[in-house]
């Protein structure tokens, strides 16, 4: 089980480097607006997931609503370097939380409004899937972009 949890953390740890690689030596300002928007989505989702996980750790069987697909921010409204920095910070806090969980913490449960009873590990796994999707979209947007 522990290896499965480490794999989830490793997946999340690899994303910042993958996103930084999209701009190459040109720096974050060279990223297309669509890519910056996707990184902003990841930053916002990391913050939401961290709050949800903390709720699962503090409360006994909390109720979790489905995470809404946030509309992407208006392209070009956020500074690329600031978005990347915010993402790095949010991802660091999320990974730090995950690295400090006990095996028992990973099995904490919540009642999801659609899925019913879920574990903290399942919530993290859903976030990793969201993360993988946004990274793939960002890579595609950087190629066309």
Listed residue (23, 5, 1, 6) closest to 145, CA to CA? 23
The pLDDT profile of the chain, 145 residues, written as one tens digit per residue, is 678 999 999 999 999 999 988 887 777 888 888 899 999 999 999 999 999 999 999 999 899 999 877 655 554 567 888 999 999 999 999 999 999 999 999 999 999 999 999 999 999 999 999 999 999 999 998 888 6
* Cβ atoms of residues 55 and 64 within 8 Å: yes
Give the pLDDT score at 145: 60
pTM of this prediction? 0.90
Reading across the β-sheet that carries 63-64, which strands appear in turn? 63-64, 109-112, 116-119
Angle CA 35–136–145, to nearest 5: 40
Give the pLDDT score at 72: 55
* Cβ atoms of residues 95 and 8 within 8 Å: no
List CB contacts of 118: < 8 A, sequence separation 6 or more.
Answer: 64, 109, 110, 111, 112
Give the pLDDT score at 129: 96
């Amino acid at each position: 089980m522990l290896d499965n949890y480490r794999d989830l953390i490793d997946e999340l740890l690899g994303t910042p480097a993958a996103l930084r690689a999209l701009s190459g030596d040109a720096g974050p300002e060279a990223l297309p607006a669509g890519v910056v928007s996707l990184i902003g989505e990841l930053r916002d989702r990391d913050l939401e997931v961290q709050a949800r996980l903390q709720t699962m750790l503090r409360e006994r069987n909390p109720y979790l609503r489905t995470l809404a697909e946030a509309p992407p921010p208006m392209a070009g409204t956020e500074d690329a370097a600031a978005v990347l920095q915010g993402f790095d910070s949010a991802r660091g806090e999320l990974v730090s939380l995950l690295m400090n969980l006990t095996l028992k913490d990973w099995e904490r449960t919540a009642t999801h409004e659609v899925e019913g009873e879920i574990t903290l590990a399942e919530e993290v796994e859903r976030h990793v899937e969201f993360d993988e999707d946004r990274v793939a979209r960002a890579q595609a947007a950087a190629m066309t972009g």
